[in-house]
């Protein structure tokens, strides 16, 4: 006798678990938690699309949009350095500040927490209701880093910070810094 049990949610659950593991592996700078929170900026692997089903426990806001973690209204993210209008040389150290929330590694689901994303020379903000893509202009700090070293060519550049939740989705309301402009000197 061949008995076969059917679990209709099992394939979706396995897919969500595998996607979550890939997200954590792709956002991790090393297999261990980041002890020193200083890393050279490296784009992380983009979040797998299969993770979208795993967001069912968040506030949705509107139909057709992914659910977003909530953020305290007074939470703010900012640049400790460089300051707006600064003239710097490359490589430069960029330090991130956060008030009213905690910095945790990607994949850590904890209220009032998230991890940093650095937007470099981005003219238009990405969608705030989907995971932030990992590109050369959107750098993920999934290890919970609060500092990085950037190499930028000489000239004027803009920087902005956006905090993302455990799935790289900006909070509701978004926790974003002001966009700052820096000038990188040609040091020849």
Q: Which of 108, 117, 116, 112 is nearest to 100 (CA)?
A: 112
How high is the pLDDT of residue 26? 45
- CATH topology (fold) of 41-46+54-184: Immunoglobulin-like (2.60.40)
Give the pLDDT score at 180: 98
Task: Give the pLDDT score at 64.
Answer: 54
pLDDT under 50: residue ranges of the chain? 1-63
Q: Cα separations (Å) of 88 from 37, 44, 145, 153, 160?
A: 22, 26, 22, 11, 16
Radius of gyration of the chain (CA): 18
For residues 28 and 105, the answer to whether their CB atoms sit within 8 Å is yes
pTM exceeds 0.95 for this model:
no
């Amino acid at each position: 006798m061949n008995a076969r049990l059917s679990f209709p949610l099992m394939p979706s659950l396995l897919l969500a678990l595998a996607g979550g593991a890939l997200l954590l592996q792709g956002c991790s700078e090393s297999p261990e938690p980041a002890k020193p929170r200083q890393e050279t900026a490296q784009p992380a692997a983009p979040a797998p699309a299969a993770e979208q089903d795993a967001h069912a426990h968040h506030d949705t806001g509107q139909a057709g949009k992914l659910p977003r973690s909530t953020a305290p209204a007074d939470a703010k993210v900012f640049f400790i350095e460089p300051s707006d209008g600064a003239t710097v040389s490359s490589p430069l150290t960029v330090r991130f500040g956060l008030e009213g929330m905690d910095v945790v590694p990607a994949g850590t689901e904890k209220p009032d927490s998230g991890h940093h994303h650095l937007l470099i020379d981005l003219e238009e903000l990405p969608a705030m209701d989907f995971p932030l893509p990992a590109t050369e202009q959107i750098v993920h700090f999934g290890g919970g880093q609060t500092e990085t070293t950037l190499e930028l060519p000489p000239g004027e550049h803009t920087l902005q910070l956006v905090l993302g939740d455990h799935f790289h989705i900006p909070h509701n309301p978004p926790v974003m810094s002001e966009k700052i402009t820096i000038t990188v000197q040609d040091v020849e």
